[in-house]
Structure 1
Amino acid sequence: MRAIAVTALGGPEVLHVVDLPDPAAGPGQVLVRVRAACVQPADAAARVGRLPGGPVPPPFLPGWDFAGDVVAVGATDSRFHVGDRVVGLVPWHLTRGTPGSYAQLVAADVDWLTELPTALDYATASTLPLNGQTASQAVRMLAGDGPLLVVGASGGVGGFAVQLARQAGRRVLAVANDHDQDWVREIGADEVVTRSAGPAALGQAPAVFDAVPVGAAAANATKDGGVLVTTRPTEPVDPARGVRRQVVLIRPDQRVLRDLVTAAAVGRLRTRVAATIPFERAAEAHRIMATGGLPGKVVLTF
C-alpha cells in the first residue's frame, strides 16, 4: 500500500509518500480501504514532536480520523462485513503511528469503528470522530443548568460543542473567528462575539470550554467557583478563585461515535469541509491547515 509517513521531525516538507506492505486484519479487526482522512492539528503536533510523553521517533504514519470500506474481516469479528462503509478513529495517542490513518489501508480494531450511512460522503464523515467525540466528552464534563461559553466555536471541536450543548438544552455563548459569526449562530449559539473582541465581551460564565485553547482569556471568563475545560494544559488559575480546571483527553467511545454519525446523516449535526486534497499532497494540506481561520476541515482523499 501507499501511505504518508513523517520521515523526520519538522515542517510539512517531512511528509512523504512511502510504499509499505499491506496490513492484515487480525482477530477483532477489519481491514479498511481508506477513502478519506481528516487533517488535524494533532497531526501537525506529532509531525513536529510536540506530544505529551515526548516525540515519536520517525518514521511513522500520522492521522486519527478515517472513512472507507471494509475489504477483509478478522477471524473473530461478526459486526462488519466485506463491503461495509465505515468511519472510525485510530487512537493515535496509543498507536503512535502504527497504524495511522494517512494510509490506503488500515487494520482497525472493530471498537474503533461504526457503520457509515450512505447519506454521508467519506470526506464529511472523516471530520466527525476525533472532534465530535472530544466535544461530546467536554460537554459532559461541563454538565449543568447555567450558560456554557465555548471559545473557538468556529473550529471543529468548538462547533460540535456548540451544537451538542444546545441540543442538551443549554444556553450557549460563543467566541468565533471574526468572519464566522453567522455560521456559529446557525448551529445554535445564542450569543456570539468575535475573536478580536474576546471572551470578556460576554462577561463571565459558570462553565467554559476553551477549545483553542487561548488560556488566560478563557480563565478570566470563568466565574469564581466555575469549571474550565481545555483541549490542552494551560497556565494555572489563581487557586483563590476556586475554578476547577480539567483537560479533555479523547476516550474513543463507539456508542458516542455511532450517535454522532447518525445525527450528521439526518442533518441534526453539522460539519464543514473546507478542502479535499489528494493524499499525495499531504504537505500542501498541512500548509493550508496552518494558515488558520478555515471554514471547515482539510481532508485527504485516497
Structure 2
Amino acid sequence: MRAAVFDEFGPPEVLHVVHVPDPQPGPGEVRVRVLAAGVQPFDVAVRQGQMPWAKIQFPQTIGQEYAGVVDAVGEGVTDFLPGDPVLGSAMLNGAAELVCVAAENVVRKPAALDFPTAAALVAASQTASGALLELGVGEGDVLLVHGAAGSVGTVATQLARLAGATVIGTASLRNHERLRRQGAVPVSYGKDLVQEVRDLGLQPTVALDVAGGDAIAQSVELGIPRDRVGTIVDDKAATEHGTQVVRAGRDPKRLAHVVDLAARGQVVMPVQPFPLDEVVEAHRVVEGRHSDGKVVLLLAGVDVL
C-alpha cells in the first residue's frame, strides 16, 4: 500500500509517499481501505518532533483521521463486513491506503455524508463535543469561541447553537461571513478583541479557546467565570489564570452523534482537499494556519461532493 511517511523530524518537506507492507487485521480489528484522511495540527506537531510522548519509529507513518470502506475483518468481529462505509480515529497511520483499527472504535458512515467530509469531522467532532460537555454549554449561554473558523471551532459553534447558546466567534475578517452562516456573531481576534466583544452588548458566560495567544487572558478580562473558561491548546495559560484544560478524549459515540447531525445538514464542515501525493503542501497549509476549511487528503481518486 501507499502511505505518507517521514524519516526525520522537520518541516513539511520531510514527508513523502512510499509503498509499505499491507497491514493485517488482528483479533477484534477491521481493516479499512482509506478514501480520505484528515490532517490536523497534531500531525504537524508530531512531524516536527514536538510530541515527545509519541512512539515514533522511522520511517514513521502519520495521520489521526480516516474515512473509507471496510475491506477485511479480524477474528471475532461480527458488527462489520467488507464493503461497510466507516470512519474513525487512527493513531499515526491514517494517511495511508489501508489502516487497521479496533472495531469497537469504528463509526458507520451515513450514506448522506461524503467520505472527505466524514474524515474532516473525526477529530473536530470529538474535541468540540467533549469540550462543550466539560464546560456545560447549554440553553441561555453566551459562548465565546476563540478560533471559530478552524475545524474544532466550526463544530463547536454549530453544536453550541443547536444546544441553545448564543455564540460569539473570533476569526480573521475574511471568515466573518462564514461564521455568520454558522450562526455565530463574528469579531476579529487581536488586541481590540475585548472592546469589540463589549461593543456587541452581549456578556459571554463561557469561553472555549482553540487558538491560543491572548485568548484566556482576554476571556478572564471579559469577566467570564474562570471555571467556565476552557482551552484545548494552552495548558500554560490555563495554569497561570486558573482556568480549565478541556480534553475529553476520543469517544466514538460522540463522533457518531455529530456525524448524524452532519448527515442531516445540521453541522457543516468546509473541506480543503489535497491528493495524497500533495501531503507536503497539505501540511504546509495546516502549519501556516491558512486553510480554507479542514484540510483532507484524498486517496483513490475520491472527489468532494
Provide TM-score, normalisation by structure 2: 0.88
Structure 1 position 6 matched with structure 2 position 6: yes
Q: Counterpart of 2:165 in structure 1: which amino acid?
A: R
Q: Deviations over 1:155-187 (max 9, x none)?
A: 100111111111111121211221111111111
Secondary structure class of the residue paired with 1:160 = helix
Counterpart secondary structure, 1:128: helix
- Which of 103, 110, 113 is the matching residue for 2:103? 110
Alignment of 1:53-68 (within 5 A): 53=53, 56-68=56-68
Q: What's the CA shift for 1:109?
A: 0.7
CA deviation after TM superposition for structure 1 residue 249, in Å:
2.5
Q: Determine the C-alpha separation between the residues in 2 that align with 1:183 and 1:4.
A: 32
Q: How far apart, in 1, do the equivalents of 2:246 and 2:225 lie?
A: 20
SS of residue in 2 equivalent to 1:184: helix
- Whether contact under 8 Å (1:89, 1:130) holds in the other structure is yes
- Verify the 8 A CA contact 1:69 1:85 in the aligned structure 2: yes
Q: CA separation in 2, counterparts of 1:238 and 1:101?
A: 33
SS at match of 1:179: helix
Identity of aligned residues (%): 36
Matches within 5 A, 1:1-302: 1-51=1-51, 53=53, 56-90=56-90, 92=91, 97=92, 100-144=93-137, 145-189=140-184, 191-196=185-190, 197-203=192-198, 205-215=204-214, 216-236=217-237, 244-274=242-272, 276-302=273-299
Q: Give the Cα separation in 1 of the matches to 2:167 and 2:291.
A: 22
Kindly state the Cα deviation for residue 228 of structure 1 after the two structures are TM-superposed. Answer: 1.4
> CA contact under 8 A between 1:178 and 1:195: conserved in structure 2?
no
CA contact (8 A) 1:148 1:171 kept: yes
SS in structure 2 at match of 1:180: helix
**Structure 2: 5+ residue stretches without partners:** 300-305
Q: Distance in 1 between matches of 2:24 and 2:250?
A: 22
Residue aligned with 2:205, SS: strand
**Deviation by residue 1:78-131 (Cα, 9 ceiling, x = unmatched):** 1111000101111x3xxxx3xx10111001111221111221111111111101
| Cα separation, 2, equivalents of 1:54 and 1:22 | 22
Q: Which moved more, 1:69-78 or 1:226-235?
A: 226-235
> In the TM superposition, what is the alpha-carbon distance from 1:149 to its structure 2 partner?
0.8
Distance of aligned partners of 1:282 and 1:250 in 2 relative to their CA distance in 1, 3 Å threshold? farther
CA contact (8 A) 2:274 2:297 kept: yes
Q: Secondary structure at the match of 1:192?
A: strand
- Structure 1 residues 200, 65: closer, same or farther in 2, change over 3 A? farther
Give 1 or 2: higher helix fraction.
2
- C-alpha displacement at 1:294, in angstroms? 2.5
Distance 1:64 1:290, change over 3 A: same
Measure the CA separation in 1 of the matches of 2:223 and 2:56.
35
Q: Give me the whole-angstrom Cα distance separating, in 2, the residues matched to 1:134 and 1:296.
A: 16
CA distance in 2, matches of 1:177, 1:52: 32
Query: What is the CA distance between 1:57 and its match in structure 2?
Result: 4.9
Is contact 1:153–1:174 with CA below 8 Å preserved after alignment? yes
Q: Contact (CA 8 Å) 2:226, 2:243: kept in 1 or not?
A: no
The count of residues paired between Structure 1 and Structure 2 equals 290
Q: Is the 8 A contact 2:238 2:245 kept in 1?
A: no
**What are structure 1's unaligned runs of at least 5 residues?**
none
Q: Is the 8 A contact 2:35 2:69 kept in 1?
A: yes
Q: Secondary structure of the residue that 2:228 maps to in structure 1?
A: strand
